[in-house]
């Protein structure tokens, strides 16, 4: 009897992972509302606790945050534009032509310079606007920024860049304390060599201003200032200002009557149960 051995079928091929598709599926965790608005191709402004994102057909065209210098602050801080030119462009902007179009038409800015500054300001403000929030966001349909669209950014790209920036700060110094607290200088035993940019920042640390305060004063993007702040913190050159010690209670007067002090504290209390007991005491004393 002849036995015929049938070869076993080959195992199925393992699926090849599409990195681009996987990246697209990974976004959306920072703001579910922003994800939905992008899918709807909505236009308007999403207002969050630490900033606002302006959308046009589901893409982010502007971002604002009180923690990040605005586009006009970055342009005027270094002499690219004067404040009067910026205000004039905003005053003449309308629904057909935004301020950006007027600046380009007047020859005040080149298209490349405007786009570069705009993207820097947008990603900078969006980093703070997309920070974890304790309050829900709200979206107002149809609201447009007076600057007008310059270079729209896909929501997926914006969220990936925000996550990349968070990871970068954690790799430099995994403590967020210096980000929002007033900064003080410390005395490192072996201070590293500083860049001129870091030196200008360190010279302005005075125990009162935060990293974002310094970014506004220097006319720099706030995230880049956070990078320098964390590097200086990791080098032991700056630290968050310590919280003030709570006031200590006054020492008791040795000659005071403890019973009188207790009676005085009892008279100042507003607890309803204590108030009821005081009324009962007064009633019994009146018998």
Decide if 45 is inside a domain.
yes
Mean predicted confidence (pLDDT) in 206-210? 95
Decide if 159 is inside a domain.
yes
Report residue 151 as tokens.
């270079």
Whole-model pTM: value is: 0.74
Q: Are residues 102 and 221 in the same domain?
A: no
Last residue of one domain, picked from the residues 168, 194, 225: 168
Contact 109, 80 (CB under 8 A): yes
Helices 111-129 and 155-172, packing angle to 10 deg? 70
Residue 20 is inside which H or E element, if any?
Answer: helix 19-26
Q: Are residues 114 and 150 in the same domain?
A: yes
Q: Are residues 142 and 209 in the same domain?
A: no
CATH number of the domain bearing residue 216: 1.10.10
Report residue 99 as tokens.
């301020």
Domain that holds residue 58: 28-168
Q: Are residues 163 and 211 in the same domain?
A: no
Q: Are residues 37 and 88 in the same domain?
A: yes
The C-alpha atoms of residue 98 and residue 94 are separated, in whole angstroms, by 6
Q: Are residues 222 and 146 in the same domain?
A: no
What's the number of domains the chain is made of? 2
Q: Are residues 161 and 189 in the same domain?
A: no
Q: How many other C-beta atoms lie within 10 A of the C-beta of residue 158?
A: 25
- Residue 20 clears pLDDT 80, i.e. is over it: no
Q: Are residues 34 and 163 in the same domain?
A: yes
Contact 139, 44 (CB under 8 A): yes
Residues in Cβ contact with 230 at an 8 Å cutoff, skipping those fewer than 6 apart: 169, 172, 173, 178, 179
Token look-up 């005027």 returns 76
How confident is the model over 47-85, as pLDDT tens digits? Answer: 999 999 999 999 999 999 999 999 888 888 877 788 888
How confident is the model over 107-134, as pLDDT tens digits? Answer: 888 888 889 889 999 999 999 999 998 8
Decide if 116 is inside a domain.
yes
Q: Are residues 184 and 128 in the same domain?
A: no
- Residue 17 clears pLDDT 50, i.e. is over it: no
């Amino acid at each position: 009897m002849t036995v015929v051995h049938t070869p076993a079928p080959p195992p199925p091929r393992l699926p090849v992972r599409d990195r681009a598709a996987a990246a697209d599926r990974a976004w959306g965790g920072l703001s579910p509302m922003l994800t939905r608005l992008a899918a709807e191709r909505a236009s308007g402004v999403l207002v969050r606790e630490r900033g606002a994102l302006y959308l046009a057909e589901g893409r982010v065209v502007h971002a604002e945050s009180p923690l990040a210098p605005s586009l006009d602050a970055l342009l005027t801080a270094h002499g690219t534009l004067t404040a009067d030119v910026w205000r004039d462009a905003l005053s003449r902007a309308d629904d057909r032509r935004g301020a950006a179009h007027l600046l380009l038409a007047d020859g005040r800015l080149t298209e490349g310079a405007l786009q570069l500054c705009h993207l820097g300001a947008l990603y900078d403000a969006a980093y703070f606007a997309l920070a974890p929030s304790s309050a829900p966001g709200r979206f107002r349909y149809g609201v447009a920024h007076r600057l007008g669209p310059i270079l729209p950014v896909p929501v997926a790209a914006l969220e990936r860049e925000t996550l990349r920036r968070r990871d970068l700060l954690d790799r430099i110094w995994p403590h967020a304390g210096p980000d929002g607290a007033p900064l003080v200088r410390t005395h490192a035993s072996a201070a590293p060599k500083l860049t001129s940019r870091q030196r200008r920042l360190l010279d302005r640390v005075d125990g009162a201003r935060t990293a974002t305060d310094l970014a506004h004063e220097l006319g720099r993007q706030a995230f880049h200032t956070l990078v320098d702040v964390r590097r200086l913190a990791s080098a032991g050159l700056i630290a968050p200002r310590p919280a003030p010690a709570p006031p200590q209670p006054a020492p008791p007067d040795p000659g005071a009557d403890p019973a009188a002090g207790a009676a005085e504290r009892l008279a100042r209390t507003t607890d309803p149960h204590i108030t009821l007991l005081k009324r009962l005491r007064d009633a019994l004393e009146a018998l």
